[in-house]
Amino acid sequence: MADVVEALRRSFGVGSVVTDPDITSRYLTDWTGRFKGEALCVIRPVNSWQVQRAVEIANASHTPLITQGGNTGLVGGGTPVRGGIVLSTQFLKGIDIDVNSRVAKLGAGVTLSELNTKAKEVGLRFAVDITSRESATVGGMVATNAGGIHLIRYGGTRQQLLGIETVLGNGQLIARMEGLHKDNSGYDWSSILCGSEGTLGVITAVAVKLISVPLHRSVALIAVDTLSGAIRIMRAARREFANLDAVEFMSRNGLELVQRLRTEKWPLGELPPYALLIELEGDDIEVEDVAVFLESHEDVLDAALASDARADGLWFWREQHTVAINHFGVPHKLDVSIPIGGIDSFVRYVSELLELEYPNVRAVIFGHLGDGNVHVNLLNVEESNEELDHEIFATVASFGGSISAEHGIGRAKVDDLTLTRSPQDIESMRTLKKALDPALILNPGVLFN
Ligand code: MLT
Ligand code: ZN
């Protein structure tokens, strides 16, 4: 194994192959603190040639290669187990924007914020937005097919992709970076690599669509009694407003944690059982229309409305959830999809299950209501209760949902993939994996066990 580090040092230079534990430690634990591992070294390539060299060395020595972006993943997909090479994409930078085509070509290590800062100079932005925007890399968002808070209007990361450059597990460099809006000339590598969680290739660059930055936005934070009521409001809002771009929900437990951590006062009196956040974006938002809509809807208990820069103050209650939850423990993050009509029953089922069988576990349930994406975050799960995750995933399957809406399978859910994907389905995925990564060096233990 010392040979592997030596070979990497010969190719990359001594300083680029990091073994100092003071530096490597931050690459070995995931953002939640739940997944920890060990690695021979961390490498930080600056171009795709170096990535190709790293893949060659990993193949020759049968060493696992784990790709990591901003280390903001929530299912352990970028965390090594032991003995591998962590390849950080953080120095694969560079952004090139074509304003005619509204296309950005960028290195995989560019963060979402960096992309948006550059795009804003020409009045554009990336359509997908996630709360970890400061650290999350666009390459990582592609690898996990990140969904985020605007999926209801623009789709997820896959829908924004126009090209990819990747080094496959077999060492071949595939470059499809023309950034064409239309290209039906065979298999689409962008789609294949998107959501593959580092198991087929190392993504080195991507080409993505950009959209206009709207002139205005209006956000409403709404107190509601039930999730069914929240869904009724969402249905009416979708009928009423063509430019609805976010519909998020929160529950009292999560709002309480945010309040405790940030000592901020909830703007609507007592904390309600549930809260809904809706956002409209466009060049001509009529705030009055939103106010009238909220006043007339019988499921609205109370609401606060804010526009443009002030809207951040209302988003605060939703965006602080992840940080607040992590502050109060190491969560099990069960990010699931449920057909929207079943969300209310699903949440009630999970709450009753916990009350009856796992009284010490605290659930914080929130998510992207418009996409049917429910984030079930569990705190105080002891080792003796590990089967709880499985029980909830089995319930998700029985509701016709998916065990991963937007975070991926990672290491956290490998044992549960069979709940929602058939043996033929998984076998075909394995066939693809073996064809593109024959020595199985890329992210072993992620997606498949
Ligand atoms: C979110 O929607 O805030 C993210 O998916 C993160 C999370 O689940 O904590
Ligand atoms: Zn989310």
User: How do residues 11-32 score in pLDDT, each as one tens digit?
Assistant: 988 888 999 999 999 999 999 9
Q: In percent, how much of the chain has pLDDT > 70? A: 100
Give the whole-angstrom CA distance, residue 70 versus residue 175: 23
Average pLDDT over residues 64-68: 98
Each residue of 81-125: pLDDT tens digit?
A: 988 999 999 999 999 999 999 999 999 999 999 999 999 999 999
Give the model's pLDDT for residue 319. 97
Give the model's pLDDT for residue 386. 77
Give the model's pLDDT for residue 257. 97
Q: What is the CATH number of domain 95-212?
A: 3.30.465.10
CATH class in words for 216-321? alpha beta
pLDDT tops 80 at residue 250 = yes
- Beta carbon of 375 within 6 Å of any ligand 1 atom: yes
Give the model's pLDDT for residue 16. 86
Give the model's pLDDT for residue 421. 97
CB-based contacts of 217, cutoff 8 Å, min separation 6: 245, 279, 280, 281, 282, 285, 307, 308, 311
Average pLDDT over residues 44-67: 97
β-partners of residue 306 are: 219
Each residue of 180-208: pLDDT tens digit?
A: 999 999 999 999 999 999 999 999 999 99
CATH 3.40.640.10 fits 2-88, yes or no: no
Q: Which of 131, 318, 323, 379 to mutate to test the pocket of ligand 1 (most atoms within 8 A of CB)?
A: 131
- Beta carbon of 332 within 6 Å of any ligand 1 atom: no
Domains of the chain: which residue ranges? 2-88, 95-212, 216-321, 329-413
Is residue 324 within 8 Å of residue 260, measured between CB atoms?
yes
Average pLDDT over residues 228-249: 97
The pTM score is 0.96
Give the whole-angstrom CA distance, residue 323 versus residue 218: 24
- Beta carbon of 389 within 6 Å of any ligand 1 atom: no
- Beta carbon of 322 within 6 Å of any ligand 1 atom: yes
Q: Tell me which architecture the domain covering 329-413 has in CATH.
A: 2-Layer Sandwich (3.30)
Each residue of 257-303: pLDDT tens digit?
A: 999 999 899 999 999 999 999 999 999 888 999 999 999 999 999 99
The residue contributing the CA closest to ligand 1 atom 7 is: 322
At 25 the three-state DSSP class reads helix
Give the model's pLDDT for residue 263. 87
Q: Mean pLDDT across the chain, nearest whole number?
A: 96
Give the DSSP H or E segment for 139: helix 138-144
Identity at 401, one-letter amino acid code: G
Each residue of 360-408: pLDDT tens digit?
A: 999 999 999 999 999 999 999 987 777 999 999 999 999 999 999 999 9
Per-residue CA distances from 112 to 95, 108, 140, 320, 327 (Å): 11, 10, 10, 18, 24
Give the model's pLDDT for residue 3. 93
Judge if 216-321 and 329-413 fold alike in CATH terms. Answer: yes
Give the model's pLDDT for residue 175. 98
Is residue 179 within 8 Å of residue 95, measured between CB atoms?
no
What is the CA(375)–ligand 1 centre distance, in A? 7
What is the position in ligand 1's atom list of the atom closest to the CA of 333?
8
Residue 222: pLDDT band (50, 70, 90) is very high
Question: Cα dihedral sign for 410, 414, 420, 422?
Answer: positive
Residue 71: pLDDT band (50, 70, 90) is very high
